[in-house]
A and B are shown apart, each in its own frame.
Chain A
Amino acid sequence: MTATATPLIEAHDLAVRYPNGALALHHVSFEIKSPSFMAIIGPNGSGKSTLVKTALGLIKPSRGTIKVMGYDSQKKSGKIRKQVRYVPQRDRIDLTVPMKVKDIVLMGRLLKKLPPRFATSKDIAAAKDALQQVNMEDLWERPFPELSGGQRQRVLVARALASEGSILVLDEPLSGTDVESQNLIVNALRRYHKENDVSIIMITHDLNPIHTLVEDVLLLKNTVIGIGEPCSIMDPELIKKVYGPTAKVVEHSGHRYCMTHDSGLDRHD
């Protein structure tokens, strides 16, 4: 990428304060080139979800600006949202509504249309294809609330895959999933990132499964602690600063491993 290309995300002196007074983010400035596979990491409450929601214009910054593909999150949120497909943290999905798996996956496409948002055969084909990518095509007619947590997570990823737009934003898509689900999701994202010109922004507590995919890592603890390639972020001092003194980066026979309570063991060559 050339330096003149529009960055995927750029933040300038961003601060976000919730109405209850909690200062979730402060002095956040960074820039990520486009296209990228970007990971946002940091402990609970470090402002990861807040940063993403602010970028999508869902939360108003109390100071500074954040732009996605050159569009300001407040003034041009419509332009941003045209390009974005978003997977919220799983617990944000309400389970009282009797949605079928197909309804959830189609939602990703129908949301990009205007009312009455009828599903065409093309929409249905795209939804089925997306479900196939996460190995859930047999559950098309199943009630979404009756799925297991990991299955629901896969369906939500399928919802994003089925939709359209050049930026995929995923808030902890791997939380509560077993290794098999993780591999399915990560492989689907890998394929997607490679085959289409799609940028991926993923919040995670665990870099391991996506370690080889990620191009940029943003390490947050209410402000930017580190930014760069996965290996440069795995700096012992940096990790200690964020995760506390129990986090360790160990070197063993030429590989660098990072140990935290969150991410377990993470290998960095």
Chain B
Amino acid sequence: MIDIIQIIIESPFLQRALLAAILIAIIAAASGTFLVFRGLSFMASGVAHAALGGTALGIFLQDSGLVPWFDPILGALLFSVLVAAFTGYAGESGITQKMEVAVGVSFALSMSFAVFLMYYIPPYKVPLIWGYLIGDILLLNDLDIFMLGSTTLLLAVITLMFNKEFVYVSVDMEGSTAHGMNARAYHYLMLIVSALAIALATKAVGAILVYAIMVAPAAASNELVKSVRGVIFAVFLIALVAELVGIAASFVVFVSPSAIAGILAALSYILALQIKRVRDRVDVDIDDPDLSPDDLKETWNHAVTHEHEDGHEH
């Protein structure tokens, strides 16, 4: 234990990585959860790739001298907000399928745009664009952490303030509007703030990890946990553990921390599905009196009350 603390104190890059892991777990808990509630898990990936197109645009504008002050990160943020706004516009009526299509279209558009611009960017700068997809949590600098931290803070504050509104928009947009809530505004707010956070997280740790961490833990928790708050908390834990194990593993064996974290996050979803299946099977057995003879019933019921502490009643 002392050794670990010693190592952390002596290596700033590790401190930054741990901090980033926490920040990204918060982003996953705040955005990932609500995206999965809205059936929009695909948007995390769409935004990450749109950010790539934006980065390409930034590099092009800077390099060609057209707009020298245009930092590539501005392009990434701009594009991800555009995707969020476009997706929001398509889904104003609350229909998820339309939003999925909008995400798909903007995904394709921004990737095409990125590839288009690559022909006009000096070849030695092209890897910068691809670097955006891979990313490495162990290579963050202070500015990365600062930007990631401030967006996470913004996202966390907004989600704490408006989590009921975001839930209501996801559950029943029409009904919420009819009762006098400005559902449209919250709908856009949620998508845009999520997009900003996802874009910056992508810059920090890469699109692949963001996608895995943003979606899988939320989907896993949503299978098993039966309250909104519980899901948010479970997502934070799963995401954090996956990332920490990833970082730790990269010290022991030669392996990318993002890859391990991504694999663990994905496994959490598969595990959740499996647990859910086993649980449902037990429920069915119990419901049917023919399947458990009287003398066994007592034991069965006993076992079940222990297994279902979240308030299953039968």
The contact string, 1 if C-beta is below 8 Å from chain B, for chain A 203-224, is 0000000000000000000000
Name 6 A/B residue pairs within 8 A (Cβ), A-sorted. Answer: A86-B174, A86-B178, A94-B38, A103-B228, A110-B164, A116-B164
- Stretch from A76-84, A237-245, A258-266 that touches the partner: A76-84
Docked Cα-Cα span, A96 to B141, in Å, equals 38
Is B302 among interface residues, defined by CB-CB distance under 8 A?
Answer: no
Considering residues B36, B94, B175, B230, which has the most beta carbons from chain A within 10 angstroms of its beta carbon?
A: B175
- Report B164-185 residues with CB < 8 Å from chain A CB: 164-165, 167-168, 170-172, 174-181
The secondary-structure label for the interface of chain B is: helix
Closest Cβ of chain B: how far from A69's Cβ, in Å? 14
> A99 touching B161 by the CB < 8 A rule?
no
On whether the beta carbons of B164 and A97 are closer than 8 Å, the reply is no
CA distance A78 to B180 in the complex (A): 6
**Given A97-B37, A97-B171, A115-B161, A58–B180 Cβ distance below 8 Å?**
no
| Interface size class of chain B, counting residues whose CB lies under 8 Å from the partner chain | 20 to 34
Q: With the chains together, A117 CA to B222 CA distance in Å? A: 24
Q: Are A88 and B179 in contact (CB under 8 A)?
A: no
Q: Which of B36, B172, B226, B311 counts the most chain A CB atoms within 10 A?
A: B172
B39 interface residue per 8 A CB criterion: yes
With known contacts A98-B225, A116-B161, A58–B178 Cβ distance under 8 A:
yes
Closest-by-CB residue of B relative to A59 is B93
**What is the interface size of chain A, counting residues whose CB is below 8 A from a CB of the partner?**
34
- A143 at the B interface (CB under 8 A): yes
- Contact B162–A115 (Cβ < 8 Å): yes
B residues near A, CB below 8 A? 36-39, 94, 161-162, 164-165, 167-168, 170-172, 174-181, 222, 225-228, 230-231, 311, 313
Q: Which are the 3 A-B pairs with shortest beta-carbon distances?
A: A86-B178, A111-B179, A81-B180
Partner of A87, one of B165, B175, B177: B175
A93: B residues at CB distance < 8 A: 171-172, 175
Whether A60 sits at the interface, judged by CB under 8 Å, is: no
Residues in A69-128 with C-beta less than 8 Å from chain B: 78, 81-82, 84-88, 92-94, 96-100, 103-104, 107-108, 110-112, 115-117
**B313 to chain A: which residues have CB within 8 Å?**
142
Known A81-B180, A98-B231, A116-B161; further 20 A-B contacts with Cβ < 8 A:
A56-B178, A58-B178, A84-B179, A84-B180, A88-B172, A88-B174, A92-B172, A93-B175, A94-B170, A94-B171, A97-B37, A98-B226, A98-B228, A98-B230, A107-B168, A110-B164, A111-B181, A115-B165, A117-B165, A141-B311
Considering the complex, give the chain A residue whose CB is closest to the CB of B162.
A115
State whether B171 touches A58 (Cβ < 8 A). no
- Nearest to A56 among chain B residues (CB) is B178
A34 contacts which chain B residues (CB < 8 A)? Answer: none
Residues of the B chain whose Cβ atoms lie less than 8 Å from the Cβ of A97: 37, 167, 170-171, 228
Residues of the B chain whose Cβ atoms lie less than 8 Å from the Cβ of A110: 164
Rounded to whole Å, the gap between the CB of B34 and the closest CB of chain A is: 9
Task: Given the known inter-chain contacts A88-B172, A96-B39, please indicate yes or no for A82 contacting B180, CB distance below 8 A.
Answer: yes
Judging by beta carbons under 8 Å apart, are A169 and B179 in contact?
A: no
The residue in chain A whose Cβ has the minimal distance to the Cβ of B37 is: A97
**A117 x B167 contact (CB < 8 A):** no
Most chain A beta-carbon contacts within 10 A, residue among B164, B179, B181: B179
Give Cα distance in the complex from A86 to B171, angstroms.
14
| Interfacial chain A residues near B36, Cβ < 8 Å | 96
